[in-house]
Chain A
Amino acid sequence: MRYAIPVVVLVAMLVLLGIGLKLDPREVPSPLIGKPAPAFELPLLGADPEAPKLSVASLTGRPVLVNFFASWCAGCRVEHPLLMELSKQGVEIVGIDYKDAPEDARAWLARHGNPYRQVALDRVGQAGLDWGVYGVPETYVLGADGRVLFKQIGPVTPQAWERDIRPLLAGAAR
């Protein structure tokens, strides 16, 4: 009988691995998914200080990508061409310039192109903190009702766009 023990161990392990196949180990869900986007009020780049600020309320009614970026961030340059392409296709991207000086952001956007419908300034990173940003770039997909549908950590890759983000936008727009 003791010669059969290895087979029993094997079967138990196969069951475990079989269940494991259905799970996604990478998924560390953002606690914000499915919740309304955290409130913020940030000045817009290039607007005078008295002008109305950007808040969550102005992002509802249609699906939006909220992209945290900075002129000092290398990963942002990586995803930048894709964002330019998406904005040409009519995707609404709102940029939040994270812990950055407005003049640097303006120079950066002038040099590389501006994919953003609006750019808000989060100079001290308070909005980033509320949104749970670990590092730029990060991109959030907001549904028409202002809920967070998805969070992309790191640059938006063509794969992430095709697999995760585009279907969500298409679904949210319908």
Chain B
Amino acid sequence: MIAELGHFALWLALAVGLAQAVVPTVGYARGNVRWMALAGSAAQAQFALVLVAYLCLSEAFRQNDFSLVYVAANSHSALPLVYRLSAVWGAHEGSLLLWMLMLAGWSFAVSIFNRRLPSEISSLVLATLGAVSVGFLLFMLLTSNPFERHFPIPLEGRDLNPLLQDPGLIIHPPMLYMGYVGFSVAFAFAIAALVTGRLDAAWARWARPWTTTAWLFLTMGITLGSWWAYNELGWGGWWFWDPVENASFMPWLVGTALIHSLAVTEKRGLLQSWTLLLSIIAFSLSLLGTFLVRSGVLVSVHAFATDPARGVFILAFLGAVVGGGLTLYAIRAPRLVRQGQMQLASREGLLLFNNVFLIAAAAAVLLGTLYPLAIDALGLGKISVGPPYFNAVFLPLMAPLAVLVGFAGTASWKRADFKVAFRPLRVLAVVALVAGIALPYLTQGRGSIAASAGAVLAVWVLATSVQEVWRRVRAKPTWIAGVRSVPRGAWGMTLAHFGLGVWTLGVAFASTFSVEKDVRLGPGQSADIGRYEFRFDGVTHVEGPNFKSDTGRVVVSFRGREIARLDPEKRLYPSQGSVMTEAAVDHNPLRDLYVAMGEPIDRGNVAGDWALRLYYKPMMRLVWFGGVLMFFGGILAASDRRYRLARRAESDIPVGAAAA
């Protein structure tokens, strides 16, 4: 009964979505303000309906209702409640429902926060979001209904994929989807601008907080995904250039470019058509990511159960949404764009370079991701493109970005004199060079060109981003006045750039100085990595709620003093017959010590010798900490007062019934 209620709510949501897409559009064409005003109420109604459907599915999981195909396939009565609730997005159908919930949530938020926008903009934005929701709802209802029942009802479920039974995985997909789906708002703003022809500073100011918000969620989603892979996959890596990782990284790169080009469009009224194009592309890449994950065209650790019918549907949907957007762009953009003069020697010029590098990086990632598919499609054989390609292409494109970031605060808009802009940074450049080159020797006791190069860039980014705020604060008579005088947007930018520096430092050190050792240890034996001694104290058998675990005990000593006890696990989940590795990590900001269990060497004799994998990873935490800083930077930037004041100022404009 609950399932039927949820199913029914989805059909109703589809009907509401159709109304949300069509009525305001017709209203706009006819100049009918009331019809346009329907968009807001429709978005709110749709959100309520999708929420009901979502809660129904969660309830089915809570009750272990195995009469639902989806619940039976992804849950188990012994599964802890928190994982039963997160199992809702553990596989294809439910994660689509989560996607849809977020899309409806974003539309709901737009309908609340953008009430004071001119009604033609806000209603067209909502109509576009409505059209996107129709596509997703149809996809779900026609090919991937999470509420499908089956008979006979199995007595027990097949359990949630053990890879997903991890706290990181509870929040990673929702964050990621929030980001993916959030770019639909930027996309909708682009469509509204193309249709109405309103493409001014005010438009950019409205679109900016939405874009930043989508970006910050995506940032956090990717960071969490990386953290999860590190802990759960058991081979110490944090980024694999897997097609699905790339699928989340491409919208991130384009979204980052979009944030910066929106700034230029707002402040200088330039790069307008470029900004529109990026808005469309960022969302297109989000949809492409969905397609790549769901259709199974690429091999990936993330692939869901695949189905060609689904692939065809998403491809058609991708064609309709992106094709529609780009066609509209091709027709309308040439007429809307104001030709402005741009000096390359200016802040907007630097931001243009920033965009070029980011987009080139995104294009390189796209190429590497789709290349195996293209070769296969042309019948030229099967190949795979691995990390060497991505590292070789990506890192050289990132280095100039890091250099550019340093000038973010000092180069002025319109026309900058680089000599003047560089003057306050001279000292910092020297500091970066000296500190960067010295850091590997100081912390690791040995040098490396790659690590030094990375550290120079990292220190440069860290120092210049702090210096920018420092300069502003110092310009005021007191500290408090100084801190207050810096707008939140600037704090956000500083924090995000600082995060980039932290991230760079982490990547440079973790990828250069990591030590990995595969060892065979019996109880009581030990192995050394550098000055760290790892002693293996044997394995105990532990019964989990839905798994059996061989939990090892490894004691780590540093110069003879015990510093950590690690309990890596090898788990067997009998209901899916899968074996999982739970790595154990001891960490501080300077290094991670990581132990993953391999196999018992002696034929299932768990009391004997084990193959263990030991890692020493310097500054590993900084990689994720950098991502977290960017996330908080995004929050600060998106909540800047300017955007709220902008809304208030707009209330002078007659808004008709849009406030309804």
Measured between alpha carbons, how far is A14 from B327 in the docked complex, in Å? 15
- Return chain A residues, CB-CB under 8 Å to B330: 3-4, 6-7
- Closest B residue to A28 by beta carbon equals B382
- Return chain B residues, CB-CB under 8 Å to A3: 273, 329-331, 333-334
Contact A19 B377 (CB under 8 A): yes
Contact of B577 among A7, A21, A78 (CB under 8 A): A78
Measured between alpha carbons, how far is A79 from B373 in the docked complex, in Å? 33
Contact B319 A20 (CB under 8 A): no
Cβ proximity bits A136-165 to B, threshold 8 Å, 1 near / 0 not? 000000000000000000010100000000
- Return chain B residues, CB-CB under 8 Å to A13: 370
Cβ proximity bits A90-130 to B, threshold 8 Å, 1 near / 0 not? 00000000001000100000000000000000000000000
Contact A23 B599 (CB under 8 A): no
Interface residues of B, dominant DSSP: helix
- Return chain B residues, CB-CB under 8 Å to A18: 315
Interface residues on A, range: 20 to 34
**Is A173 in contact with chain B by the CB < 8 A criterion?**
no
Contact of B373 among A10, A20, A72, A75 (CB under 8 A): A20
Cβ proximity bits B470-487 to A, threshold 8 Å, 1 near / 0 not? 000000000000000000
- Return chain A residues, CB-CB under 8 Å to B280: 6
Contact A10 B308 (CB under 8 A): no
Cβ proximity bits B295-311 to A, threshold 8 Å, 1 near / 0 not? 11111000000001001
Measured between alpha carbons, how far is A24 from B370 in the docked complex, in Å? 14
- Return chain B residues, CB-CB under 8 Å to A75: 579
Cβ proximity bits B330-370 to A, threshold 8 Å, 1 near / 0 not? 11011000000000000000000000000000000000001
Q: Take A10-B323, A104-B603 as given contacts and tell me if A26 and B299 are in contact as well, using a CB distance cutoff of 8 Å.
A: yes
- Return chain A residues, CB-CB under 8 Å to B291: 17
Cβ proximity bits A56-68 to B, threshold 8 Å, 1 near / 0 not? 0000000000000
**Is B170 in contact with chain A by the CB < 8 A criterion?**
no
Contact A14 B277 (CB under 8 A): no
Measured between alpha carbons, how far is A10 from B319 in the docked complex, in Å? 8
**Is B171 in contact with chain A by the CB < 8 A criterion?**
no
Contact B376 A71 (CB under 8 A): no
**Is A74 in contact with chain B by the CB < 8 A criterion?**
yes
- Closest B residue to A72 by beta carbon equals B603
Q: Take A14-B318, A79-B577 as given contacts and tell me if A23 and B273 are in contact as well, using a CB distance cutoff of 8 Å.
A: no
**Is A25 in contact with chain B by the CB < 8 A criterion?**
yes
Contact B298 A21 (CB under 8 A): no
**Is B312 in contact with chain A by the CB < 8 A criterion?**
yes
Query: Which of the listed residues A3, A4, A104 has the most CB atoms from chain B within 10 Å of its own CB?
Result: A3
Cβ proximity bits B568-586 to A, threshold 8 Å, 1 near / 0 not? 0000100001110000000
Contact A17 B297 (CB under 8 A): yes
- Closest B residue to A100 by beta carbon equals B603
- Return chain A residues, CB-CB under 8 Å to B315: 14, 17-18, 21
A-B pairs with beta carbons under 8 Å apart, 16 shown: A3-B333, A16-B370, A17-B291, A20-B373, A20-B376, A21-B311, A21-B315, A23-B377, A24-B296, A25-B299, A71-B603, A72-B602, A72-B604, A74-B572, A74-B604, A78-B579
User: What would 20 more interface pairs be, CB under 8 Å, given A20-B373, A78-B579?
Assistant: A3-B331, A4-B330, A7-B330, A10-B284, A10-B322, A13-B370, A14-B318, A14-B319, A14-B323, A16-B370, A16-B374, A20-B376, A21-B295, A21-B312, A23-B297, A23-B376, A25-B296, A25-B297, A25-B376, A71-B604
Show the binding face of B for A, using Cβ within 8 Å.
273, 277, 280-281, 284, 291, 295-299, 308, 311-312, 315, 318-319, 322-323, 326-327, 329-331, 333-334, 370, 372-374, 376-377, 382, 572, 577-579, 599, 602-604
List the 7 shortest-distance A-B pairs measured between CB atoms, nearest first.
A72-B603, A78-B577, A20-B297, A19-B377, A4-B330, A7-B326, A21-B311
